[in-house]
Structure formats: C-alpha cells, structure tokens
Amino acid sequence: MHYHSCVQRPQQNSVVERKHQHLLNVARALLFQSHVPLCYWGDCIATAAYLINRTPTPNLKNQSPFAIVHCKSPGYTHLKAFGCLAYASTLSQSRTKFQPRAISCIFLGYPPGMKAYKILNLHTNQCSSPCLEPDSEPMAIPTQSPESASFSDNVPGSVISNEHIPHFSVSDQVQHPSIVTRTGRHTHKPSYLNEYHCYLAANPFVSSSQGKSNTPYSLSKVLSYHRLSPAFRATVLAISSYFEPEFFSQAHGIPEWDNAMDNEIDAFEKNDTWNIVVSLPEGQHVIGCKWVYKIKLNADGSVERLKARLVAKGYNQQEGIDYTDTFALVTKLLTVKCVIALATIKGWHLHQLDVNNAFLHGDLKEDVYMTLRQGYKPKGELPHNAVCKLKKSLYGLKQASRQWFAKFSTALFDEGFDHSATDHSLFIKHFGDHFIFLLVYVDDVILVSNDLQELEALKVRLNARFKLKDLGNLKYFLGLEIARSQKGIFVSQRPNALQLLEDLGHLGCKPMNTPMEANLKLGQNDKEKLADPTLYRRIIGKLQYLTITRPDISYSVNKLSQFLTVPRASHMNAAVRVLQYIKATPGQGIYFPATSKIQLRAYTDSDWAACPDTRRSTTGFCIFIGDSIISWRSKKQHTVSRSSAEAEYRAMANTTCEVVWLISILKELNVHHEGPALLFCDNKSAQHIAANPVFHERTKHIEIDCHLVREKVQAGVIKTVHVASKEQLADVLTKPLFPNRFNYIKDKMGLKNIYCPS
C-alpha cells in the first residue's frame, strides 16, 4: 500500500489498522521531538507518510513502497530533521540594501508533487514551498536543534493555506553541477568561461578520498590563462591539477606508484647504496626513512613519469656519530633572476637539467645506519632488528647535499668550468666568443649559453658521468614559473600562491587590493596575545618564499616577521590581510622585457623612526637592469638614526653594497656595463653627505662602513641622482600605501598578472 498525506478512517481491518497505527506513531514522534504546535499535525502526518514510503520493510522483501511503485531506489541525501531551523533567501527585487538577505523559517516537510521543502516563516506565520530544479535533489538547509526555533501564540488552528504566500528561494548553500533550468531547458557554458578552471567551479569540493580537505575553490572566478601560449597553458594547468600521495599507504597498491618505488630500489641496488646487516652495532645510531612522491611533467604539461624517492629522516642524526660537516652551497635566487634578465636582453638559450638520484653519487665518510624501507621484501629470512648500513649518501641526510656538490663540482672542473667569485654555485666557462653558465641548486641545474651546439654536447658528456634528465627549455624551477616569448620573460610563483591559500584555508577569503592597510603602525602595544602562535609563524614562513618574485608584499612580510616571538591579534589580522591580497593576485610576478638596456638603476628610500617600539628606521631599495627589476629589500635598520638624512644615508649604504655585488657578477659574465650605476634618492641631505666630507656634526657618529657610499661615488662606480618623492619606487618597500599609489608603483616596477583578465 502506498501512503498518502491525507488520512481517512479505514474499515475495521487488522492489517490496515496496524498500518495506520504505525503512521500515527511516527507522526507523534515527529511532533514530540520537534516541539511543533499541535496545529501542524497535518504536516507531521504527511512527513511520516513520506518517510515510511521510503523505508525498506520486511513485508516487501526489504524494499520500500517507493521502490515498488516507481521501480527505482529513493534518495536519502535531501532528508532533514522535521521542525529544524532553516533560512530562506529573499528576492533581491523586493528588498532594500539594509534589509536582511535571508529570513528564519521552520522546516515542515516535503510538499507532494514537487522537489521542494515546505517552510514556515517565523515572522509572518505563513508557509511556502520554494521549488528547486526538477532534475536536482532538494538543496541542503542548515539545521539546528528544534528548541532554538520559536513560535508565536497566534498560530492558526488548521493547516495553513498557501494563499497570499510570498515567494521564497532556499539559500544556495552548495554549487550544483546541473545546468538544467526550472523549465527543463538545457543551458550551455558561456564561451568566456573557456579559459577558466571550470572543473573547479563544477566540482567545488576536492574529494576527501584523495587525501585533501573539503575546501571550497573560489579561484575559478579569478584565474584566466588567455594570455598564455597553448603549450605553456597546458604546463601551468597540469602543475596544479595532479594529485600526489603524501604517505606510503596512499600510494601502495597503485601499479604506477608501485613501479616507481621498484625503480628507486633498483637504482639503489645498482649503485650499491647500502648493505643489510643483521643488527645495529653497539654504540651506533639508527635513523628512519619514508617515501616521498612527485609527478614529473613534460614541457607541454603531460605526465613524463611518476617519481618515488626514499628519503632518510636526517633530523634524527646525531652530530659526531653519523655526521660532521653539513654546509653545502646553492645558487642565490638573485643570481637566477639576474641571469634570466640578461638572457632576455641578449637572447641567450635557457635550458634545465634534473639529475636522477643525485645524492646517491655522494660518498659517505661516516657510518650511517637506517631502518628498512616500507614495503621491503628481503630475498631471504632476516631478523626483525636488521638495518641498512649506507655506503652512499641518501636524500634527507644532513651531509647528503654537501657530498653531492663536492662530486658534481669536481666533474665541472674537469669540463673546464670555474667557480664564480660572487656566487660559488655559479660555474662559468668561456671559449672564444662563446660561453656556458651553469647554476646549481642541489640537483636542479640551469644551463645558459649563446652556443646551442656546445650546450647539447655538454649535456651528453655530463650524462655519461651522471644520469641526467633533459627538461628542455627552462619553464619551472624551484616553484618559479618561467614563461618566455619574443617580447620577454615572465616569472611568477602561481603554484606556490595557490598552494599557500589552500593549505591555510583561505581559498574562499575576500580579496583585497593592497597587502596592508595604509598608514598602519604595528607594534607590541596590543595587549591581546595569541594563545597559540604556531599558525601565525606558519603563515609568515610560507609568505617569505613568495617574496622571491613579489616585491609588492616584501614590506608587509618583513614587518610581520618582526613579531614572531610574541605575536598579537592585530598582527594576525594583518597577516590575513596579506593572504587576502594574494587571493586577488595569485599569478602576479615580474616581467623582464627583451628590449631593455643593460644599465643598473637603484632606488633607495627609508621611513625614519618607523618602528614604534625601537624607533629604528626601515630601509627599502629596488634595483633594475634596464627595465627589469631583479633585486629588492625591505629591512629594519640595526641602529637608531638621529635624523631622516642619516636614515636615508644608511639606506644608501645598503643599496650600494648590493649594486657593487651586481657589478662584480656582470664582469664575471663578460657583460659590459657602461658608465656608473644610477642611485636614485629623494633626500638631498643624504646626497650631499655622500658627495662631500662635510656636515661633521651630523656625520661624525655614523659608522665607517656607511661611508662606503662616498668612496664609490668618488670612484665613479655609482652616481647619486635626486628623484621626486612621488616617483620614488622604493616607497612601497618602506611603508603601507593607499591603493592608487600602490598600484602606480607596481606598474612602474614591471609587476604583471598575466593570469587575470585584462
């Protein structure tokens, strides 16, 4: 028997009587648990019939009446607690700007003949049934305990009529992928959405089965890639699309990842990386290990291979027992930006190499013991306390990078390369009018040359000694996306920005147009301390790496990093403001135009006594090669300055040191720089101090190292130039600015966001 919402008195039949009694019992339970007034008994009966019709019963062979009648299983995801508190959104046409966007209601069941919820307006005591799309399940209504809902005493004593009912629509709490309208008409995605992450908009929650949290993606309304070439567009989309396991349990059992782990073990065995010993020798220390997984991509964005790497837990090593020296050189990221800027202007070739199992080439001098890897299947029987004795270095060991760099640099010396005096991870080889520059960052290598044939020959020779992976043209290096065209090179950290927002749960935050509120003064005066500073420190640590290509947030990050010891609530609010700004500009980066001239220009500025706690000034400078910004810094000065001129002079000294370093690296690269470097400053007193040994009363207390500026001016290395305050580009690195001023300086610096619509 299929129940209906209206109930008539049946004949005196025992079966029918039991069914009616069951219906009344369910309706009575709904009435009692919801605390709904008795006048709504009709809705309790209708809801009880609705639920019983969808409940499997032994009398129908564990099927529901709904399934027998309609020949399909009913859905249960739309069911809600009867009498719970709900909210219905009001129509925008019938409300003013100051009226509420939603009204509180009570859920009264499921109207027959439509997919909708019946709700009672608590303010007008009127019922409505907002319809949903015919092919979609009813939308989720936020529920609370029934006791939180209130009823007025003047409720009608019968089932409320639907006459004169205002039209309500249930608030859209989740995004539905269905594109069928209420009338049944099929709609299509607009053409302007073709360049967007539409799969994120259609599937707003990442599957938790993939090891991700249920965090809504709202960046689909921000990111656009229409300015990118098809090949590079495929690359940047692929970087943030694939899922990488975090633990062995997530990867084990998947054939592709199992094969990757087997390949890693085969490489260990061929390289004779370890020996299995039955027990740990007395007085020795054992460390653990774990698997790390990475998807390697081709230049066109397709999957090249799945890489599984066994990493030792080097943080368990003990100094003096299983390691001694750990220092290893890596190239400065300033050197990377400088070389990229020069390659853009000169038209040099930029290639990238990846060394397979690079750390396995390093020889260990200490005795290091490690536990057996997860999933290890020994060929014979081994005792439970068997361990590995490492012969070669392994990823994760404290001394691994040092041993690898020593071996790789020896091979480069054999090839005729020399160390750079300014950056020891930069190797230089000149032969006639041709050259090859090689930058090493652990196992990632950048090759720069004006001779493509010799470049390819070097790859072959290095591959004979180390197993290399030729990644082709430079496109992705240490989180930096490098896009090249005939007009120039664009460098950004889009994947890091998106990952940062996702990890910190700010993908859905409100965007802001500046990273910090203008004229904001942060100090330790706020008495409201953070109970747990861990999250604050984590945010600042992640933001630090973004400043590699983001001078627009350098001041904010530097200022907030001064409060890591005892952060306050105001500091946390300012850090969230930076995240909101990154949400608005996730793909912003620096642009190196190909038409620039090789002329060093530096802008230096200071904010006198900017720190309210120590009264120290803030130094800010930015340095350009032609129109390409390559270096910038925002830093609090070490001492208190007695005047603004002194603060500016100290800022000029810091800038001069950076300029001198860049001039040295240009000489080593055989790049001719005509004339002195230009140093722009908006303080004439500081310029006079730099040019003349006068103003003794004002300068006799200044440290000797600050007078480096005067020495370099007299030697003709730099030339000070006065610039108007409104044209001072370093202003953005010393204080928070208003949006118009902030955006003006960003444009002058050459910062662009090619991922957003123009």
Q: Which of 300-314, 328-342, 542-556 has the lowest mean pLDDT?
A: 300-314
Q: Which two tokens stand for residue 359?
A: 């750390």
The confidence score (pLDDT) of residue 609 equals 84
> With 50 as the cut, is the pLDDT of residue 174 above it?
no
Q: What is the DSSP string of 305-330?
A: EEEEEEEE-GGG--BTTTBS------
pLDDT of the residue at 360: 75
Q: How far is CA 491 from the centre of its chain?
A: 16
| C-alpha–C-alpha distance, residues 349 and 450, integer Å | 6
Residue 335 pLDDT exceeds 80 = yes
- At 610, the amino acid letter reads A
- The CA dihedral of 457, 459, 462, 467, to the nearest 10 degrees, is -140
H or E segment to which residue 473 belongs? strand 468-473
CA distance 648 to 687: 9
Distance CA 152, CA 95 (A): 24
Token readout for 357 is 């199992």
The rounded radius of gyration (Å) of the Cα atoms in the chain is: 34
In SS3 terms, 119-176 reads as EEECCCCCEECCECCCCCCCCCCCCCCHHHCCCCCCCCCCCCCCCCCCCCEECCCCCC
The pLDDT assigned to 217 comes to 37
The mean per-residue pLDDT over the stretch 151-168 comes to 33
pLDDT of residue 507: 82
Name the more confident of 147 and 19: 19
- Contact by Cβ (8 Å): 217, 204: yes
Q: Is the pLDDT of residue 444 over 90?
A: no
Greater confidence (734 vs 149) lies with: 734
The pLDDT score that the predictor gives to residue 212 is 39
> Does residue 165 carry a pLDDT above 60?
no
String of b and e for 207-225 (b: at least 16 CB within 10 Å)?
eeeeeeeebebbbbebbbb
Name beta bridge partners: 195. Answer: none
pTM given for the model: 0.63
pLDDT higher than 90, residue 623? yes
Instruction: Inform me whether the pLDDT recorded for 146 exceeds 50.
Output: no
The sign of the torsion formed by the CA atoms of 311, 313, 319, 325 equals: positive
- H/E stretch holding 446 reads strand 444-449
Residue of 565 and 168 predicted with greater confidence: 565
| Least confident residue range of 249-258, 370-379, 668-677, 711-720 | 370-379
Residue 205 pLDDT > 60 = no
Q: How far apart are CA 721 and CA 730, in angstroms?
A: 14
Does 162 score more than 70 pLDDT?
Answer: no
Q: Looking at the domain assignment, is residue 537 inside a domain?
A: no
Q: Band of the pLDDT at 540, cuts 50, 70, 90?
A: very high
- Counting beta carbons within 10 angstroms of the beta carbon of residue 86, is it exposed (0 to 12), middle (13 to 18) or buried (19 or more)? buried
pLDDT in tens, 288-333: 888 888 887 766 667 778 888 888 888 888 887 778 777 778 888 8
What pLDDT digit, counting tens, does each position of 121-137 carry?
877 777 776 644 333 33
Identify the H or E element spanning 104. strand 102-107
* CA–centroid distance for 12 within its chain: 70
Our CA angle for 663, 666, 668, nearest 5°, is 115
Residue 215 lies in a domain: no
**Is it the case that residue 5 has pLDDT exceeding 50?**
no
pLDDT at 177: 38
Query: Counting Cβ atoms within 10 Å, is residue 27 exposed (0-12), middle (13-18) or buried (19+)?
Result: buried
- Most confident range (mean pLDDT) of 92-101, 499-508, 685-694 is 499-508
Whether residue 578 is predicted with pLDDT greater than 90 in this model: the reply is: yes
Query: What is the total count of domains within the chain?
Result: 3
> Is pLDDT of 1 > 60?
no
Residues of the chain above pLDDT 90, percent:
15
Q: Within a domain: residue 302?
A: yes
In the chain, the amino acid numbered 505 is: G
Same domain, 127 and 252: no
- Answer for the pair 749, 553: CB distance below 8 angstroms, yes or no: no
Per-residue pLDDT tens over the stretch 216-230: 333 434 456 666 666
Domain range for residue 381?
248-478
Instruction: Return the SS3 of 354.
Output: strand
Q: How far is CA 383 from the centre of its chain?
A: 45
Burial class of residue 628 in the structure, from the number of CB atoms within 10 Å of its CB (0-12 exposed, 13-18 middle, 19+ buried): buried
Half-sphere exposure of 335 (CA within 13 A, CB side): 25
Instruction: Answer whether residue 624 is part of any domain.
Output: yes
Query: Which of 235-244, 250-259, 398-407 shows the lowest per-residue confidence on average (mean pLDDT)?
Result: 235-244
| Residue 121 counted as domain residue | yes
Average pLDDT, the chain: 78
- So what's the pLDDT on residue 143? 40
Mean pLDDT of 132-157: 37
Q: Is residue 474 part of a domain?
A: yes
What pLDDT, on a 0 to 100 scale, did the predictor assign at position 557? 93
pLDDT at res. 486: 87
For residue 529, pLDDT over 90 is answered with no
Q: What pLDDT score was predicted for residue 604?
A: 92
Q: How far is CA 644 from the centre of its chain?
A: 39
Lowest mean pLDDT among 6-10, 319-323, 512-516, 659-663: 6-10
pLDDT of residue 337: 92
Q: What single letter denotes the amino acid at residue 517?
A: E
Q: Is 659 a member of any domain?
A: yes
Question: Are residues 469 and 610 part of one domain?
Answer: no
Nearest to 428 by CA among 753, 667, 677, 102: 667
Residue 676 gets which letter from DSSP? P
Say if strands 718-722 and 677-681 run parallel, antiparallel, or are unpaired. parallel
Q: Is residue 357 part of a domain?
A: yes
